[in-house]
Structures are given as structure tokens and as C-alpha cells.
Structure 1
């Protein structure tokens, strides 16, 4: 192995570590599944009339047809999910969701996902349902958790999840990542949602243990 390869490999491993961990904990694997790694413990649930902004040094994306975004303590770069519609305003059956980086650490430009980010973490898979306005969505990094992508009006859609037997519209996730060790480790997940029944914003705070990457 060349010296260049030896230098590049740890960086690649660290990048893939963050991606896999982000995807693994972002969308709430069942909290009762104690054998799962990393282990998640629901710490609190709080309601607010306004959407909390965890780190005001990090910009919120405001892209057209935005469904969800994900930020981390590592830097301001943000993963954005948007809906794609056809000319009639219906979800595009061939490619209903786009996923990409907003490189806010730089100039805020769009950057495509790298192949390993798409394959092992942030990429999505879509399945049809009996309702043409509802699609099942799973993330490549967490195939056991199904979400619902619903068209709510022409050129409008939202992403929903069931959390503790209640349905919420997803808005964004924020991950606390500890970089003090050899590999990054996710220690806490904050998931920001909206309760469609009350109109309030609901923050779910979840502790993550065993979040270090192992091969």
C-alpha cells in the first residue's frame, strides 16, 4: 500500500463512520430494541410554539420543496432532502426525493452525495403504496425504519414518522458527535418535529451509547 493510500484511508474511514452513524441514529430505531447498536435512550420530549434553532451559527436551508435536513456538531454542512414533482404537481414516481449537501461551511453551494454516503447512509429507497399520494421511504443506513412521504397538496409534500405511538412531521435532526477518539462517536440525537394535531413543535432528545464505528 502506498504512503498516499495510508494517509487517505483513515480520512475515508472517518467520513464513512460519520455517515453510517448519522443514518443509523437519525430516524429512531425502536427504543425497546436493547440489542441494537448503537443503543438509544429517549431522554425527553418538549413542546414549543416556535421551531428551535440549535446552533444559530449554522444556517437553516430553505430549499424549494424541502422535506427534511440534518445537521451535526462537526460543521455547518447540511444534508437536505427535497421532493420532486411532475408538471401537474404530483410526486415524480421515478425520482420523488432528491438528497444532497448544502456546503454551508463553504459558500452554501449544492454538492452531490459521494457514493458511500448514498449507499450506506443518506440515500433513500422508495416503495409505492395503495394510495398514489403516499410513498414508503427508507434510508439506506437504516432499512428497518419506514417513514411515509405524503403529498399534502399540489407541489407540496411532507415526511412523517411514528414516535412512541404518535405521528409527527419531521423537520430536522441535530447530532452531537464526539471526535475525541480514533473514530467519531454520536452521543446525542435531537429530532425536531411538528405535531399535526396541536401545531406545536416537538423536540425529542435521545441519548446514544455504543455509537462508535466498528468493523
Structure 2
């Protein structure tokens, strides 16, 4: 499977989110090396994406309908927190929504949703209620289902058109143990 075309597309259109295919290594103690601000925790927060070009962060929140269930058309809302500017919220623009950071959602049984990044449909996510009674985004890392917390992309050098992506780090929480799990992928 090729990741390079996907990486180039995302970094051209709106630098930020990328996913590798094969794990480089798994280490529960791995932490993103940059001390960026973390988005505040809210009842609706699902996960966020950060990368080395700057601290601007893409945030994904649960979008509830008036009945208290996820909105059937758009169960997850994505937006920026522009930490590198004034920390303001800003909606994703059309290109970012349709080609990079936007999500597609397909209803599944029991009120769950199959969630995919528009730019990389091969990384399956599931929006569903957990044992805590709250909705979370679930993903698989190290062959274990986790609650996705964040994605971090480390870029060193390269050019605007061909950045050198060193690794992608996906982190989450094991819903059974509460332990943080981290996996890095090298594209």
C-alpha cells in the first residue's frame, strides 16, 4: 500500500493529518516531542490532530442532534483551533473539508457510525457509545481497539511539495484498562 501520494496531497492542501500503513514500532511511553497546547477537554471532544509545522490543531467534536443522539448527517464536527495565531476557532474551508481533514460518516447498527477521513478511507474509525455511556471514536492500534485521543505528525525538512514525514503517531486509551497506548508509523 502507498502512503506517499496521500501524504503529499494532505501536506499540499492543508498540512496536518497523515497516517502510515505499517507500524514502525509500538511503545507505550512514546510521547510527541513538541509541547503544543492541548485543546481543552469538553463533553463533546472526540480527538484532535497536530503536526510539527505549527501548533494549529484540528479538533473533532461530537455533533448531537436535538434528540441527544449524534446528528445522522454530520455526527462529527471538525474545526481548527489556531494556536499559532490568537487561539481562535475557525471552520475548515471547503478544500480542507472535502479533500483533507473532513470525515465521512455511514450509519451502522445500534447507533454506531463508520467514520473515515475523506483523504484516507483505509483508516477505519468507529463512533460508538462506550461502557461509560459516552460517545467516543474507536480505532485499532497494535491490534487492539482503543479510544482515539490524538494524532501527531513529525515533519523534518523536505520541501513544501515533498515534505519529509518522519513518523505519524496515533495515541489513545485502552477502554478496558484506562492505559494510554501509542503507536508510531513510518510512511
TM-score range, shorter chain: 0.7 to 0.9
Judge conservation of contact 2:139–2:146 (CA < 8 Å) in 1. yes
Q: Which residue of 2 aligns with 1:74?
A: 53
RMSD, aligned α-carbons: 2.6
Q: TM-score, normalised by structure 2?
A: 0.83
Q: Distance in 1 between matches of 2:18 and 2:9?
A: 14
SS of the residue aligned with 1:179?
Answer: strand
Paired residue total: 178
Give ranges in structure 1 of 5+ residues lacking alignment: 1-13, 32-41, 209-215
Judge conservation of contact 2:103–2:115 (CA < 8 Å) in 1. yes
1:123, distance to aligned residue in structure 2 (A): 0.4
Give ranges in structure 2 of 5+ residues lacking alignment: 1-7
CA change 1:99–1:166 in 2 (3 A) is: same
Alignment of 1:23-34 (within 5 A): 23-25=17-19, 28-29=20-21, 31=22
CA deviation profile, 1:113-170 (whole Å, cap 9, x unmatched) = 12211111100110011212x1110110012232100133898311011234311111
Alignment of 1:35-114 (within 5 A): 42-48=23-29, 52=31, 54-56=33-35, 58-62=36-40, 64=42, 65-114=44-93
CA deviation profile, 1:11-47 (whole Å, cap 9, x unmatched) = xxx895345774442xx54x2xxxxxxxxxx222222
Q: TM-score, normalised by structure 1?
A: 0.73
Q: Distance in 2 between matches of 1:104 and 1:201?
A: 25
Q: Does 1:172 align with 2:162?
A: no
Q: Which residue of 2 aligns with 1:141?
A: 119
Judge conservation of contact 2:16–2:50 (CA < 8 Å) in 1. no
Q: Give 1 or 2: higher helix fraction.
A: 1
Choose from 150, 157, 160 the match for 2:138.
160
Q: Which residue of 1 aligns with 2:101?
A: 122
